[in-house]
Amino acid sequence: MQHFIVIGNPINHSKSPEIHHAFAASVGLPICYQRQLCPDNFDSFVAVVLAFFAGGGKGANVTLPFKQMAHQLVQSQGEISDDARHAGAVNTLMIKNGKLYGDNTDGRGLVADLQAHGITLANKKVAIIGAGGATRGAILPLLSTGCSLDIYNRTIDKARQLLEQFNHPALSARPLSDLTTARYDLIINATSATTTGQTLTLGNCQASAAYDMMYGKPSEFLAHFQHQGAATFDGFGMLIQQAKLSFELWTGKMLDLDKITLP
């Protein structure tokens, strides 16, 4: 029996145990995947992670508010993937070559979900709103598809910092106020506005497809583009795809989502 956990605070809402048990059942692997509440400080987080792997744990997912702490931990005593290093955040932990290893599957999960929805990105104009951790993790996976990417943020300096950090010719930074007259093939909401119930100023912005990284709450962002007849998607598919990538990394078993009944 292989053991897995998802570490967060709060953690009761996490759907990861049900998702991973469904994945494991589809490939006939007996697993135990549990929620792990952890006090919100670095020392407690490190103690939980090290005890879990010392006890033979196979893999851990990391969710709010610990993704940056996990990044700090693997940087100081382990190995980090390129995606996790660029994102400044880790959502997947395991032991690799005897060392703690941290990856971030969120950005690749986003791109995989867009592809699963039939959205092709090569040579397309894509906008992403927000300049926090969610955007940081998505930038390179999105650019790797060959699209151009405009980052819009309320606080323009944060978008400019990302531009400097990633230094890619297809990337640009704009103030959120510029969005009102823009037109895109795809627009992505990576702000926390949907979760906190705040309004995003979208003006007359138009897009053929819109994606809200959040899920489980009514999205004013998606409603804006639905009225234009755009194809709209919430972030539930991204949750499934990032989980699929973690599971495949941990177990080496490839999943066929068409054959899995999700919770």
Residue closer to ligand ATR by CB (options 125, 154) is: 154
CB 176 to ligand ATR: min, Å: 6
CB 231 to ligand ATR: min, Å: 23
Beta strands in 135-260 (DSSP E): 148-153, 171-175, 183-189, 206-212, 231-234
215 is in an annotated binding site: yes
Burial of 258 (0-12, 13-18, 19+ CB in 10 A): exposed
State which amino acid sits at residue 103.
D
* C-alpha–C-alpha distance, residues 2 and 134, integer Å: 30
CB 86 to ligand ATR: min, Å: 14
232 is in an annotated binding site: no
* DSSP-derived 3-state class of residue 96: strand
Strand partners, 127: 150, 187
The two three-digit tokens of residue 51, written as one number:
């005890």
| Interface contacts to ligand ATR, rule CB under 6 A | 130-134, 153-155, 158, 176, 190-193, 198, 200
Residue closer to ligand ATR by CB (options 143, 190) is: 190
Active site residues: 67
133 is in an annotated binding site: yes
What is the sign, positive or negative, of the torsion defined by CA atoms of 241, 245, 247, 252?
positive
What is the sign, positive or negative, of the torsion defined by CA atoms of 97, 11, 242, 186?
negative
CB 8 to ligand ATR: min, Å: 13
177 is in an annotated binding site: no
8 is in an annotated binding site: no
Residue closer to ligand ATR by CB (options 94, 190) is: 190
Residue closer to ligand ATR by CB (options 3, 158) is: 158
Binding-site members for NADP(+) are 82, 130-134, 153-158, 213, 235
